A and B are shown apart, each in its own frame.
Chain A
Amino acid sequence: MNAPAPLILLVEDEPQMRRFLRVSLEGSGYRYLEAATGQEGLALAAQHRPEAILLDLGLPDMDGLDLVARLREWSQTPVIVISARGQESDKVAALDAGADDYLTKPFGTRELLARVRVALRHAGPEAEEPVFVLDRWRVDLAKRQVLVDGREVHLTPLEYSLFTTLIRHAGKVVTHRQLLKEVWGGAAGAQPLYLRVYMTQLRHKLEEEPSRPKYLQTEPGVGYRLFTES
């Protein structure tokens, strides 16, 4: 049985950007809706219930952050934020407000489609897989066992918790705050510094070349991402 192609809503005020995205998305088989303003975007989202939303943060009529917040009042539809480099704090704010991921302008079609795929996957009914496999890694979530090339690697409880948090959000960026909250549980005094140190330890235990990580990637100023597609 063939389900209809996923519906993507684009909220973007630049006509040329809309044109490029429409061609890319429709060319890849997605159904497509577009809005030039925030208000129109919200209305379309309520009316058509898209599977994912691409949102430009710089809208003429309303702040993109507000739009995310208002959308989250009634919808869990994944939102991918589009913004420029140098606006890391905006990205973090959008992610903390409930956005799922971001794209930095300018971006290519491959990057766009990869992000959309990840977003749609997380939106689908998530059967918690007991085993996570990526390249040389095999993580048995039930047994709390991590294997690299078939050999067991010992992780400390915090390292393991950090790793599994990233696995839960595989492919998506996770902000420092989210990670601190999920791994350290909001313990007093927990700082991004802890995160960096444990992330480094994790890379040294799991990555082939820790200083050139293939999967445990840093998003400077924002957070970390477990990269799942190459």
Chain B
Amino acid sequence: MREPGRPDPEPLLRRVQEEEARAQRAKLKVFFGAAPGVGKTFAMLAEARERKAQGVDVVAGIVETHGRAETEAMAEGLEILPRHDLAYGGLFLPEFDLDRALARRPALILMDELAHSNVQGSRHVKRWQDILELLDAGIDVYTTLNVQHLESLRDVVAQITGIVVRENVPDTVLERADEVELVDLPPDELLVRLKEGKVYLPDQARHAKDRFFRKGNLLALRELALRHTAESVDAQMRRYMASEGIHKTWAAGDRLLVCVAPTELSTRLIRATRRMAGALGAPWVAVYVETPRHLKYSEVDRARIEANLRLAEKLGGETAVVEGSIHMADDILAFAHARNITKIIVGKPSRPRWQEVVQGSLVDSLIRQSGEIDVYVITGDREAEAAKARLTARITSPLQNYLLSALIVGLTTGLSGLAFRRTELADIAMIYLLGILIVATRFGRGPSTLASLLSVAAFDFFFIPPYGTFAVGDFRHMGTFGVMLLIGVVIGNLTERNRAQARLARSREQRTQALYHLGQDLARSSGSKALVASAIQCVTTQFHSQAAVLLPDAAGRLQAPPDHQLTFPLNEQERGVAQWVFDHGEPAGLGTNTLPGARATYLPLRGAVGAIGVMGVLPEGAPRWAEPDQRQLLEAFANQTALALERSLLAEQGALDRRRADEERLRNALLSSVSHDLRTPLGVITGAVSTALDTPNLPEPARRELLQSAQEEAQRLHRLVSNLLDITRLESGALELHTEWTPMEEVVGAALNRRELAAEAQRIRVAIPVDLPLVAMDGVLMEQLILNLLDNALKYSPPGTPVDIKAWAAGKSLTLSISDQGPGIAMGDEERIFEKLARGQAASNRPGAGLGLAICKGIVTAHGGRIQAVNHPQGGAQFLVTLPLGTPPAMPEEPA
């Protein structure tokens, strides 16, 4: 329990963090007004002049003076950023030049008309997106906004003025503002100004002028603007209260949920929820329940669902798609409970009462089962429009099915004709029912309804007296007709629903499968290159499109992976879009609101700390991800890829760091060891030679002995230097294998002839079978390997004892064994001796930099083989080199 009156540390911390972030990040100030003409631009310019007078670097990005003299006078003396002309429909339209503004980097930029829509060809669709990018770049922004352009107030404004505003700004943009200044002008004064022609209106709005600028409208809009400003002040106040430990005035943690449907009503519900959430300071979520009905929706409806979900996102809400059953209320409530929702907003039902009695009402079941959750039911006015927009496209059966069902009715009629007069009339009805049943289960609702109707007609025509007419003699038969019809329709409907559900399940399963496969593929791929390849493969097959993954180089410029052939046409422009996505961590390109002119869609690969790369997807034809579920799937793909890729990149980086550290340590050890091993022979040579030179009257045998030792030490030095060169070549990767099919005997023979072994060559016993297969190897390296191993064996075994070299082939490999009769290898050293600088315990007092065996291992590994050291059962050490065998090319036979 917290002490009363003590500030809650968490909001306090949050406020401190927010304030810090705010102090660092650029500031947005909005000059907010009720209507055009209240003087927002003027107020903005006035303040900008003040700031400029204080020495702030102010630039006018966009200032719309609309030719008003007083406003133009205010703008005088401000640096005005030149616009660039964008080609659009044969015209060149001037538009704000975002890149120039970013390059200019003023401290403060003026951006009039927050709600403006950019000319096509601009980077962003809307000006507010430009402004967010400017803010992200650390540039303060002043902007102006009229209340009717605020997304959440759109409907209210439409209700008041009867004008639907097209240019909207998400509420989140206004919330992002550090300061909102209300520019207020009483309606009477505004009307006077309007009469004086001081209010500028765009041409297309001029005809609406009289409707819009009525005093009643202006009063209502002014109230809206005032109220909205008050709310935002209130929100600041609440933040302040919470952080200062002033008790909250309501129960904490309200969470709102609004249900999304493909209707116009739903759009208004979302805006209403946003307003309510704003007033409560509560988070909210828009939920779409995907029921089997989803499949029956037409393209128009699906697009509307997506648009509604996007709207919710734009308004700052969270969105979720819940997979549902036919009991939608249960699904909604389950989701609500899981997410601690306190309030659910639904629309007032618009269906006729009888439908609700038959099918149940969502609102009723929600209210009945909601328990502690409040349910708000909001009026859906102007229902006429919603009612007319029933555009649900039914799953249509192909014509063929209708023909087949007619055929089946014909068959049953024939069968009934055969049975007629031999059985009861009821049996005939049964035969028809059987036909209907077959059609219903096979072909669905439409054909089964047709079959029912045809059956009733045929039954009546052929088998009910009077025969050959549709007249009905006995009224009782009407009951039979009714039952036949009903059964046909009911079964048809049931089948239809089953099929729909199956189809939905299938598409869900496909999605899950796709993600699962991606996950599997990613898990199987090791290394970032393989990961990228399998992600591209998965996206390509799932979305029928070309895909590319671009990763940044050290300077943060996106590069296509070098070894991966791009089928993806990545010209300078597309690369620019991808770079923007990478820099801003937001999707862009085809089908988005940013740079929609691009040929492909680009998604950021978001890692834990910002984007780690960009995935570009180029559709073949229309993008498959226009639908929300496909889009979510694509995003899920990108996210999963990003996670796997980040993990792999981190692992690779870690391994690289470790290897560098290891190399560093080894280099140091090598240096100290080598410098010792180099100095010793050098010392001997210098000493011996200078003695031989400088000692007068040195007897001949002594002089010879001195030179002999100088020669031996020189050879040792030579060996050491060769080893150093070899290990360097092996490790730097400069080693190139020149493999050729070579008999092992030849390489062994070459090694045995080497001068280095000459002194002790007689100790070596060779046993290599004549019929040994050829091995693909680099003869020079392999000779070096054998020489090193023989040298090693001779060095570590008593003088005079034999060293054996043997070879044999077994299965798909050839083994070379070199064994001595020395002390063997100390326990536990079997692996270690192949490491650089490692020497067996027995060798610690012997010369040599401990490189020979490391070189051997490097050579064998380069050949795809294995080397191991064991202790021979009869004593002594045994080195086993195993090399893979292949199939050498056939040789022409020569007559002997």
Query: A residues engaging B (CB < 8 A)?
Result: 85-86, 88, 106, 111, 154, 156-158, 191-194, 196-197, 199-200, 203-204, 209-213, 217-221
Find chain A residues with CB under 8 A from B846 CB.
none
CB of B837 closer than 8 Å to a CB of A: no
Find chain B residues with CB under 8 A from A157 CB.
894
21 A-B contacts (beta carbon < 8 Å):
A85-B722, A88-B780, A154-B896, A156-B894, A157-B894, A158-B894, A192-B741, A193-B888, A193-B891, A197-B891, A200-B746, A204-B770, A211-B745, A211-B752, A212-B752, A212-B753, A213-B749, A217-B749, A219-B750, A220-B783, A221-B779
Q: What separation, in Å, do the CA atoms of A157 and B770 have in the docked complex?
A: 22
CB of B738 closer than 8 Å to a CB of A: yes
Interface string of B765-778 (1 = CB under 8 A from A): 01010100010001
Do A106 and B748 touch (CB < 8 A)?
no
Do A200 and B753 touch (CB < 8 A)?
no
Q: What separation, in Å, do the CA atoms of A196 and B740 have in the docked complex?
A: 10
CB of B729 closer than 8 Å to a CB of A: yes
Q: What separation, in Å, do the CA atoms of A199 and B895 have in the docked complex?
A: 16
Q: What separation, in Å, do the CA atoms of A154 and B896 have in the docked complex?
A: 9
CB of B725 closer than 8 Å to a CB of A: yes
Add 6 more A-B contacts to A218-B749, A220-B780 (CB < 8 A): A196-B746, A200-B743, A204-B770, A211-B752, A220-B747, A221-B780
Closest to B740 in A: A192
- In whole Å, how far is A135's beta carbon from the nearest beta carbon of chain B? 16
Do A193 and B779 touch (CB < 8 A)?
no
Closest to A89 in B: B738
Q: What separation, in Å, do the CA atoms of A210 and B750 have in the docked complex?
A: 11
- In whole Å, how far is A146's beta carbon from the nearest beta carbon of chain B? 14
Q: What separation, in Å, do the CA atoms of A88 and B752 have in the docked complex?
A: 19
Assuming the contacts A86-B725, A193-B740, A193-B889, asked whether A218 and B746 have C-beta atoms less than 8 A apart, the reply is yes
Do B718 and A106 touch (CB < 8 A)?
yes
Find chain B residues with CB under 8 A from A217 CB.
749-750, 753
Do A220 and B745 touch (CB < 8 A)?
no
Find chain A residues with CB under 8 A from B709 CB.
none
Q: What separation, in Å, do the CA atoms of A214 and B894 have in the docked complex?
A: 26
Among A86, A156, A209, A211, point to the contact of B896 (Cβ < 8 A): A156
Q: Give the total number of A-B pairs whose CB atoms are below 8 A apart.
A: 77
Q: What separation, in Å, do the CA atoms of A220 and B747 have in the docked complex?
A: 8
Do B780 and A200 touch (CB < 8 A)?
no
Q: What separation, in Å, do the CA atoms of A132 and B798 have in the docked complex?
A: 43
- In whole Å, how far is A24's beta carbon from the nearest beta carbon of chain B? 14
CB of B707 closer than 8 Å to a CB of A: no
Find chain B residues with CB under 8 A from A209 CB.
766
CB of B117 closer than 8 Å to a CB of A: no
Q: What separation, in Å, do the CA atoms of A210 and B752 have in the docked complex?
A: 12
CB of B259 closer than 8 Å to a CB of A: no
Find chain A residues with CB under 8 A from B779 CB.
218, 220-221
Find chain A residues with CB under 8 A from B783 CB.
220
Q: What separation, in Å, do the CA atoms of A129 and B722 have in the docked complex?
A: 42
Find chain A residues with CB under 8 A from B778 CB.
221
Interface string of B867-896 (1 = CB under 8 A from A): 000000000000000000000110100111
Nearest 7 pairs between A and B by C-beta?
Answer: A221-B780, A218-B750, A220-B779, A193-B741, A211-B766, A220-B780, A220-B783
Closest to A110 in B: B755
Residue among B738, B753, B770, B888 facing the most chain A CB atoms (10 A cut-off): B753
Q: What separation, in Å, do the CA atoms of A156 and B895 have in the docked complex?
A: 7
Closest to A212 in B: B752
Find chain B residues with CB under 8 A from A211 CB.
745, 748-749, 752, 766, 768
Find chain B residues with CB under 8 A from A111 CB.
755
Residue among A156, A204, A212, A217 facing the most chain B CB atoms (10 A cut-off): A212
Find chain A residues with CB under 8 A from B487 CB.
none
Closest to A214 in B: B753
Do A197 and B749 touch (CB < 8 A)?
no
Find chain A residues with CB under 8 A from B742 CB.
196
Among B714, B750, B770, point to the contact of A106 (Cβ < 8 A): B714
Closest to A200 in B: B743
Do A210 and B714 touch (CB < 8 A)?
no
Closest to B895 in A: A156
Do B743 and A197 touch (CB < 8 A)?
yes
Assuming the contacts A86-B725, A221-B779, asked whether A194 and B891 have C-beta atoms less than 8 A apart, the reply is yes
Q: What separation, in Å, do the CA atoms of A106 and B896 have in the docked complex?
A: 43
- In whole Å, how far is B160's beta carbon from the nearest beta carbon of chain A? 88
Closest to B748 in A: A211
Closest to A224 in B: B746
Closest to A217 in B: B753
Do A196 and B743 touch (CB < 8 A)?
yes
Among B740, B746, B748, point to the contact of A199 (Cβ < 8 A): B746
Q: What separation, in Å, do the CA atoms of A204 and B749 have in the docked complex?
A: 12
Assuming the contacts A85-B722, A196-B774, asked whether A221 and B752 have C-beta atoms less than 8 A apart, the reply is no
Q: What separation, in Å, do the CA atoms of A156 and B755 have in the docked complex?
A: 33
Q: What separation, in Å, do the CA atoms of A191 and B741 have in the docked complex?
A: 10
Q: What separation, in Å, do the CA atoms of A191 and B892 have in the docked complex?
A: 11
Find chain B residues with CB under 8 A from A210 CB.
745, 749
Closest to A216 in B: B749
Among B714, B738, B755, B888, point to the contact of A221 (Cβ < 8 A): B738
Find chain A residues with CB under 8 A from B714 CB.
106
Find chain A residues with CB under 8 A from B770 CB.
204
Q: What separation, in Å, do the CA atoms of A129 and B779 have in the docked complex?
A: 34
Closest to B767 in A: A211
Residue among A192, A193, A204, A219 facing the most chain B CB atoms (10 A cut-off): A193
Assuming the contacts A193-B889, A193-B891, asked whether A212 and B766 have C-beta atoms less than 8 A apart, the reply is yes
Closest to A86 in B: B725
Q: What separation, in Å, do the CA atoms of A197 and B741 have in the docked complex?
A: 9
Find chain B residues with CB under 8 A from A220 CB.
747, 750, 779-780, 782-783
Find chain A residues with CB under 8 A from B768 CB.
211
Find chain A residues with CB under 8 A from B741 CB.
192-193, 196
Find chain B residues with CB under 8 A from A212 CB.
749, 752-753, 766
Find chain A residues with CB under 8 A from B895 CB.
156
Find chain B residues with CB under 8 A from A213 CB.
749, 753
Q: What separation, in Å, do the CA atoms of A199 and B740 have in the docked complex?
A: 15
Find chain A residues with CB under 8 A from B749 CB.
203, 210-213, 217-218
Residue among A88, A156, A196 facing the most chain B CB atoms (10 A cut-off): A196
Find chain A residues with CB under 8 A from B750 CB.
217-220
Closest to A198 in B: B894
Q: What separation, in Å, do the CA atoms of A6 and B729 have in the docked complex?
A: 41
Closest to A225 in B: B753
Find chain A residues with CB under 8 A from B738 CB.
221
- In whole Å, how far is B350's beta carbon from the nearest beta carbon of chain A? 86
Closest to A111 in B: B755
Closest to B736 in A: A89
Residue among A85, A197, A211 facing the most chain B CB atoms (10 A cut-off): A211
- In whole Å, how far is B753's beta carbon from the nearest beta carbon of chain A? 6
Q: What separation, in Å, do the CA atoms of A111 and B770 have in the docked complex?
A: 32
Closest to A227 in B: B753
Closest to B729 in A: A86
- In whole Å, how far is B248's beta carbon from the nearest beta carbon of chain A? 80
Find chain B residues with CB under 8 A from A86 CB.
722, 725-726, 729, 780
